[in-house]
Amino acid sequence: EPEVTQTPSHQVTQMGQEVILRCVPISNHLYFYWYRQILGQKVEFLVSFYNNEISEKSEIFDDQFSVERPDGSNFTLKIRSTKLEDSAMYFCASKTQAQSMAGYTFGSGTRLTVV
Amino acid sequence: DQQVKQNSPSLSVQEGRISILNCDYTNSMFDYFLWYKKYPAEGPTFLISISSIKDKNEDGRFTVFLNKSAKHLSLHIVPSQPGDSAVYFCAASNFGNEKLTFGTGTRLTIIP
């Protein structure tokens, strides 16, 4: 079964450092997303991406965050200057077409720990 | 901003019995609801969904009920099996919007 692959599974970084979280969505999917889950809290939407541009972003997704699809297969989330409160599980998701919300497929996540 | 709420953080059910997980929402614009299951160290996995034009959707052991007037949905699992032990998230979306709004999750433990 096709899956969304995220690397690394765990990333430890020092406060103020830049970090890039990587995702390989399912190959025929066109819509890409990042969500995060702070420990003990709910899964929160960060950003959606379609046709090489951001289609929607949340209040969390401020200027220190950026996304990119550099080569047609990878989808990355960059945090420019990490803060302690960025520590969370980050989930990438993709789906094939609009309005098929049940088609969301999530990756296994990257646990980001900022120290 | 708790637009989707799951008020029970945990639930324990005997194997073979019915598990009922509840979810409430406040945003009347939501018109599509989903349940996800999540194991530790894995991403959420889609279980079942329902659109606001229905009040029930069934898929094998899983049934979702939607009460729009009460802004409440529930997931019924029957019979419950040990492999059902996981965290269950309710999520909602509205037409034209690509994002999912999640609840805080309910940890279901099936007791053999």
Q: Of B73 and A40, which is predicted with more confidence?
A: B73
Q: Name which of B34, B42, B98 is nearest A48 (Cβ-Cβ).
A: B98
Tell me the torsion sign for CA atoms B85, A34, A27, A8: negative
pLDDT above 70: residue A100: no
Q: Chain-centre distance of CA B83, in angstroms?
A: 16
Contact B100 A42 (CB under 8 A): no
Contact A91 B49 (CB under 8 A): no
Nearest CA in chain B to A110: B41
Task: Enumerate helices (H) and strands (E) in chain A, giving the number of each.
Answer: 0, 11
Cis peptide before A8, with omega less than 30 degrees from 0?
A: yes
User: What per-residue confidence (pLDDT) applies to A1?
Assistant: 76
B23 close to B90: Cβ distance less than 8 angstroms: yes
What band does B30 get if pLDDT is binned at 50, 70 and 90? very high
Contact A43 B102 (CB under 8 A): yes
- Of B82, B104, B95, B98, give the one whose Cα is nearest residue B36: B104
Tell me the torsion sign for CA atoms A53, A86, B109, A1: positive
Lowest pLDDT segment from A22-26, A34-38, A70-74, B80-84: A70-74
Residue A54 makes CB contacts below 8 A (sequence gap 6+) with: A47, A48, A67
Contact B46 A105 (CB under 8 A): yes
Q: Of B95 and B90, which is predicted with more confidence?
A: B90
User: What per-residue confidence (pLDDT) applies to B1?
Assistant: 61
Nearest CA in chain A to B105: A42
- Of A29, A18, A39, give the one whose Cα is nearest residue A92: A29
Q: Which two tokens stand for residue A107?
A: 């990756």
- Judging contacts by C-beta atoms under 8 Å, the chain A residues touching residue B95 are 99
Stretch A46-51: mean pLDDT: 94
Contact B97 A104 (CB under 8 A): no
